[in-house]
Amino acid sequence: MENYQTDFISAFIGKKIKEKRQELGIKQIEIANSVNISRASIANIESGRQLIQIDTLYKISKILNADITHFLPYLDKENYKISFSNKEFQERDYLKSIFNDL
């Protein structure tokens, strides 16, 4: 997967974490302390500059009282398309290979 694709997904996940955290009035340091990472790491995750580990995303989703899928883009398996809110991102060959392995 190209870096810009990974960066776009990281930015999407980070934005969703930040929105939910702010909606609930929770500070970055509170999240960081709860999942045992630095506040700077939370800031970098929220800005899309740092990839988030799946276990960290799971822990954050529990703290924010949200299903983990809330933070992920929607995968349309039939059309091999990733939907990011109103933006769509198509990588047919890459996604097709993933879905065919499922």
- pLDDT by 10s per residue, the chain, length 102: 445 456 778 888 999 999 999 999 999 999 999 999 999 999 999 999 999 999 999 999 999 999 998 898 765 555 555 555 544 444 445 555 555 554
Does this model's pTM top 0.75? My answer is no
- Give dist(CA 22, CA 46) in Å, integer: 11
Q: What is the CATH number of domain 3-71?
A: 1.10.260.40
The full set of domain ranges for the chain reads: 3-71, 72-102
User: Order of strands across the sheet with 74-76?
Assistant: 74-76, 81-84, 87-90
Between CA 86 and CA 95, with CA 91 as vertex, the angle to 5 degrees is: 105
For residue 87, the cross-strand partners are: 84
Asked if 28 contacts 21 with a C-beta cutoff of 8 angstroms, the reply is: yes
